[in-house]
Structure 1
């Protein structure tokens, strides 16, 4: 992102990790531009833990991405954890299909 490091008090992203070509890099960039102690607010959708829906999401992921640019079977909470972001809270609904995450930049 073309912003200085530690630029923003709050970074917000909604329904976007499914569209990033490199979600790990995008999450690291969110942390880079967020001030220490700032908040990163994410509202995402991802692969459901409900077997029927999860299997459908896996089956349709590539075609869905070709049509609308969205990989609906990604695991947003896992992506955030892997990015090194400090998770203050996370809440999921609809079998993990929707996930709300409040985080802070990690210490990388």
Structure 2
């Protein structure tokens, strides 16, 4: 099953008020430590976060950096704005689709995304946009869940994927590492701390 941007947006709009609660256990057990690893690698003064969601990365933002964050779901962005006000986070929030970024080429020192490209209808289009807006020599840092390299588990993920997409709009069987490698970056590296299905990817323009 393949959904378009409007259909996926509707699913995230519907889930937005409950999203943090739904992921609370996974966030505490796994995702927080991965977010720390992701953001400790961020460099530069002008940072773009794509797929900001409810603002789960606000606590990890580097001090002193100019940060812009986008999401294509108005309701998720509403949650992020509420969290920004509570935490007094220094970030500019924009409603925007990663597949069509309204920024000039070569604008950002680092582009960051966490668990985003499972939900992008045309991931290659979105990844090429990240390449475009990243400065030469800059980096795109992605934390993504991907299809397992183990045949049995990969088969289960492929079997379950239509159900997950229909409920949440997220694909659990994407091969994001290969997609990044095909988008013109000078160098792509997968952090050695990555697991079988969670990958920390660094791409240098």
TM-score, normalised via structure 1 length? 0.88
If asked which structure has higher relative contact order (CA below 8 Å, sep 6+), I would say 1
Residue of structure 2 in register with 1:87 after alignment: 187
47-56 or 21-30: bigger deviation: 47-56
Which of 80, 99, 107 aligns to 1:7? It is 107
CA RMSD, aligned part only? 1.4
Q: Is the 8 A contact 2:180 2:188 kept in 1?
A: no
SS at match of 1:36: strand
Within-5 A mapping of 1:28-107? 28-91=128-191, 93-95=194-196, 97-105=197-205
How many residues align structurally? 104
State the match for 2:55 in structure 1.
none
Q: Is the 8 A contact 1:40 1:103 kept in 2?
A: yes
Match of 2:52 in 1: none
1:35-92 deviation line (CA, Å, top 9, x unaligned): 1011110111110012232111100112211111111101011111112223342136
Structure 2 length-normalised TM: 0.48
Cα distance in 2 for residues equivalent to 1:34 and 1:50: 33
- Higher normalized strand content (fraction of residues): 1
- Which consecutive residues of structure 2, in runs of 5 or more, have no partner in the other structure? 1-100
Shift in Å, 1:26: 0.4
More helix by share: 2
- Match of residue 23 from structure 1: 123
Unpaired runs of 5+ residues, structure 1, are none
